[in-house]
Amino acid sequence: MVNISRTDYFPTMVYQFDLPNPDGLNASLIDLIYREREADKLGITKSNTAELGSWHSNTNLHKSEDYSAILSHIHEVGGHISNELGYARDHELIVTAMWSIINPPGNGNRMHVHPGAIWSGVYYVQTPEASGDIEFVDPRTALLMNQPKYLPKRKRPRNCWTKINYKPVAGRMLFFPSWLYHGVDSNMATAPGRNADRVIISFNINQVKKKK
């Protein structure tokens, strides 16, 4: 028998954290986010489809005491990642930008990355059925050039996937490397009124030296 071994390198890590009993926090965040939109109806345009009605807030929400509860959860996960991956103990992962997005039906987010950060993430505040999966794509350009063929009607090994979709779940938080290309499918929800809106908070994270 031939002795063949395999070693996997350069993984792309996605962390998932489900908040316990998020309903009260989410109700508070919904009110805050819609008030933000009322105060700044134009918002800004990034990857969102503003021309179709998507709204994107400013990126300084982390500086408001109103968002301290969700910020503490984000930093809790950041601390776990720092410990698990062996990051320098005199630094910590801190949110350096945070914003909200309201995607009414028909809206999504174009494929994009988040420059200037180490980790990025999303927290799902309101996610009606069919409101749009987030899709991550394989960052290795070699697979854009020439892809192998696989056996039909058989699931590929996970290491050979070229994209992955996460269904949004209210109260769930995802962390992913900021360089990982991702986009959001169009919201196809049919709930009445603003209950059909897909509402999220997104954020960028960097290592910051701890204060003595």
**Stated pTM of the model:** 0.95
Q: Residue 136 corresponds to which tokens in the numbers above?
A: 């991550």
| The pLDDT value given to residue 211 | 86
The confidence score (pLDDT) of residue 141 equals: 78
Q: What is the pLDDT of residue 48?
A: 97
Which CA distances in Å does 206 have to 75, 78, 195?
11, 10, 33
Mean pLDDT of 25-30: 98
pLDDT at 212 over 90: no
Average pLDDT over residues 25-50: 97
CB 93 within 8 A of CB 79: yes
**Residue 41: closest CA among 31, 54, 28:** 54
Q: What is the pLDDT of residue 147?
A: 84
| pLDDT-above-70 percentage for the chain | 100
* Antiparallel, parallel or unpaired: β 163-166 and 172-177: unpaired
Tokens at 175, concatenated? 């962390």
Q: Identify the band that residue 1 occupies on the pLDDT scale cut at 50, 70 and 90.
A: confident
Q: What is the mean pLDDT of residues 154-169?
A: 94
- pLDDT higher at 124 or 11: 124
Residue 177 has pLDDT above 80, yes or no: yes
The confidence band for 140, taking pLDDT boundaries of 50, 70 and 90, is confident
* pLDDT tens-digit map of 105-115: 999 999 999 99
- Assign 47 to helix, strand or coil: coil
Lowest mean pLDDT among 23-27, 139-143, 153-157, 165-169: 139-143
The CA dihedral of 162, 165, 166, 168, to the nearest 10 degrees, is: 150
Say whether pLDDT at 102 is over 90.
yes
* Residue 146 pLDDT level (bands cut at 50, 70, 90): confident
What value does the mean pLDDT of the chain take?
96
